[in-house]
């Protein structure tokens, strides 16, 4: 399917999820995850009106970034190795995978501007997933005060690949509740207004539970 048609379907689903949860579709940012697709397909994506592009690996990110540059906003959604920070940090608009102090420290050292970051949380507890344990998030944020280039705009999680909607919902709900706890702290460097959660399989549920940023690959760009 062409990206424009896929986008129409995604928008319809977002509209339904927003109705169900009394939210405004304008508060949802769709990030097209282009990690499986070519430059041509990414061009089609931008032509379809999507300007937020997500990549999870350094090579794919840089290939797309160098081609499209300021035609898109650049989200890095995968694990970022500390030693690669210097090569990529000034190309990243939003980092979705801040999960350790060594990474924050290196970003603070190398970035020439403040970086918008989501703190990644491993809500499901799967061993294969990156991210902090929920109970580690508040102490972690406390430590980030020392790194002025880090601006925490929100929390991010990846749900497991399961069909159990009740389980998925409870994972997203837990991240939303954690955000409330963070916001109560009123850290100037961590307003934490956003929730990056929801992928092709589960974005409707994520939106019903408060997602502001959904990261969609398969069902949008293929
Ligand atoms: C690949 C990926 C996505 C998109 O996954 P789809 O199931 O293809 O929509 C979202 N977030 C992250 C972190 C990813 O690596």
Q: Encode pLDDT of 93-124 as tens digits.
A: 999 999 999 999 999 999 999 999 999 999 99
Cα separation, 29 vs 27, whole angstroms = 7
Q: Please give the distance, rounded to the nearest whole angstrom, from the Cα atom of residue 217 to the centre of ligand 1.
A: 6
Q: Please give the distance, rounded to the nearest whole angstrom, from the Cα atom of residue 141 to the centre of ligand 1.
A: 25
Which two three-digit tokens encode residue 64? 């797309």
In CATH, what class is 3-221? alpha beta
Residue 142 belongs to what H/E stretch?
helix 137-144
pLDDT at 171: 98
Cα separation, 217 vs 202, whole angstroms = 12
For helices 137-144 and 101-110, angle between their N-to-C axes, nearest 10 degrees? 20
CA 199 to ligand 1: nearest atom = 9
159 lines ligand 1 (CB under 6 A): no
134 lines ligand 1 (CB under 6 A): no
CA 218 to ligand 1: nearest atom = 8
Cα separation, 222 vs 219, whole angstroms = 6
Write the pLDDT tens digit of every residue in 69-87.
999 999 999 999 999 999 9
pLDDT at 127 over 90: no
> Cα–chain-centroid distance for residue 11?
18
pLDDT at 128 over 90: no
103 lines ligand 1 (CB under 6 A): no
Percentage with pLDDT > 70 across the chain: 100
CA distances to 152, 154, 171 from 74, in Å: 16, 16, 26
Return the domain boundaries, the chain.
3-221
């Amino acid at each position: 399917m062409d990206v424009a048609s896929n986008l129409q379907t995604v928008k319809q689903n977002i509209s339904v999820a927003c109705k169900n949860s009394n939210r405004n579709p304008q508060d949802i940012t769709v990030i097209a995850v282009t990690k499986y697709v070519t430059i041509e397909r990414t061009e089609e994506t931008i032509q379809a009106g999507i300007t937020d592009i997500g990549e999870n690996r350094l090579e794919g990110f840089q290939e797309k970034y160098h081609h499209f540059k300021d035609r898109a906003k650049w989200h890095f959604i995968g694990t970022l190795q500390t030693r690669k920070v210097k090569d990529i940090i000034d190309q990243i608009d939003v980092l979705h995978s801040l999960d350790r102090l060594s990474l924050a420290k290196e970003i603070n050292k190398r970035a020439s501007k403040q970086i918008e970051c989501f703190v990644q949380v491993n809500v499901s507890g799967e061993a294969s997933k990156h991210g902090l344990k929920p109970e580690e998030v508040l102490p972690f944020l406390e430590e980030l005060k020392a790194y002025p280039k880090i601006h925490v705009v929100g929390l991010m999680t990846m749900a497991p690949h399961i069909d159990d909607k009740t389980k998925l919902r409870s994972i997203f709900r837990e991240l939303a509740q954690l955000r409330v706890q963070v916001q109560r702290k009123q850290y100037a460097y961590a307003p934490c207004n956003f929730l990056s959660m929801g992928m092709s399989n589960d974005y409707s549920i994520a939106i019903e539970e408060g997602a502001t940023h959904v990261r969609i690959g398969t069902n949008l760009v293929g």
